[in-house]
Amino acid sequence: MNQLDALKQWTTVVADTGDFKQMAVFQPQDATTNPSLILKAVQKPEYAHLLQEAAQQHGHAGVGAVMDHLLVRFGCEILRLVPGRVSTEVDARLSFDTAATVAKAQDLMALYEARGVARSRVLIKIASTWEGIQAAAQLERAGIRTNLTLLFSFVQAVACAQAKVQLISPFVGRIYDWAKAKAGASWDEQAMAGANDPGVQSVKRIFDYYKSQGVATEIMGASFRNVGQIVALAGCDLLTISPDLLAQLTSADAPIVQALDARQVPAQATVVLDEAAFRFGLNEDAMATDKLSEGIRAFVKDTLTLESLIQQAITA
């Protein structure tokens, strides 16, 4: 049994890519996308036609409309290959606007439904800002399931639990990146690997809290830098993994043990957060504050680049 098959014993494997033609090889249950992954995909010859078709069919309605149709087209193509769900991300420029996030999510879901896709197969990805989490709470009550992304801290996870969101995506690799950069020359890669990895520890803390509290929100570890981080989270509800790391797992057969087990979590006190407590708690976490802001800026940058490509296609 290779490591990918072994991992699937305890964890739902999700493909983190816009390159949907790679998915059949790894047979993931779900798939996730984001603006950066879609941008990367449409610049490949095998996917360029999807952008051209969206521009030709919907260019008269403007760049924004083409963008929405392009995202949903990728999602629909992915859903042909995975049995579960696809995550499609709301424009990161709306990360601090609850009403606009809700409206954009409703627009995307309407496009999916117009293509015959059931709501149960789509997760709307939203940045884990206070405004984003409140938007997710509204959407969940309306029957639109959400995936709260760019999640780096315990307070973000607690707020998501209170909002009863469907799924959260705590980032592992970017926490690791921050800690390694902060440590500089004193960083000991071997000592900070596996269960000692700061990103792994962040997800484990959230996992233990959610399971001890009976929180129904699914936990999907994301943003991995190496196989060791993935193996150290075997047993997490879901893990979304890039094709490169999926390939490494497929080609390796070293034993994997279940690292996270909901039956063995310690009892924990309930945490309740209002907006002020959330904002203060996030502010006190320098890593989470830095990485949330950085992540939003990066997604906005790639969204703008993708819009530029769409505009070129419209006017060509």
Active site residue 40: no
206 inside domain: yes
Residue 199's pLDDT is what?
A: 98
315 inside domain: no
The reported pTM is: 0.97
**Structural domain of residue 257, as residue ranges?**
3-310
User: How far does Cα 165 stand from its chain's mean position?
Assistant: 13
284 inside domain: yes
The answer to whether the beta carbons of residues 122 and 75 sit under 8 Å apart is yes
316 inside domain: no
- Strands 30-32 and 167-170, by their bridges, are unpaired
Which amino acid does the sequence have at 29? Q
The segments of the chain whose pLDDT lies below 70 read none
285 inside domain: yes
How many independent structural domains does the chain possess? 1
Residue 82's pLDDT is what?
A: 95
Residue 316's pLDDT is what?
A: 84
User: Read out DSSP for 44-83?
Assistant: STTTHHHHHHHHHHHGGG-HHHHHHHHHHHHHHHHHTT-S
Residue 23's pLDDT is what?
A: 84
Active-site hit among 125, 204, 211, 291: 125
Residue 191: CB atoms within 10 Å? 8
Residue 3's pLDDT is what?
A: 97
28 inside domain: yes
102 inside domain: yes
Nearest to 159 by CA among 277, 273, 279, 287: 273
CA-CA-CA-CA dihedral for 118, 120, 123, 128, to nearest 10:
140
Question: What CATH number corresponds to the domain at position 233?
Answer: 3.20.20.70
In the DSSP assignment, the letter for residue 171 is B
The answer to whether the beta carbons of residues 30 and 14 sit under 8 Å apart is yes
Go through 278-315 and write b for each residue having 16 or more CB atoms within 10 A of its CB, e for each that does not. beebbeebebbeebbeebbebbeebbeebbebbeebbe
Q: CA 42, CA 263: separation in Å to the nearest integer?
A: 43
16 inside domain: yes
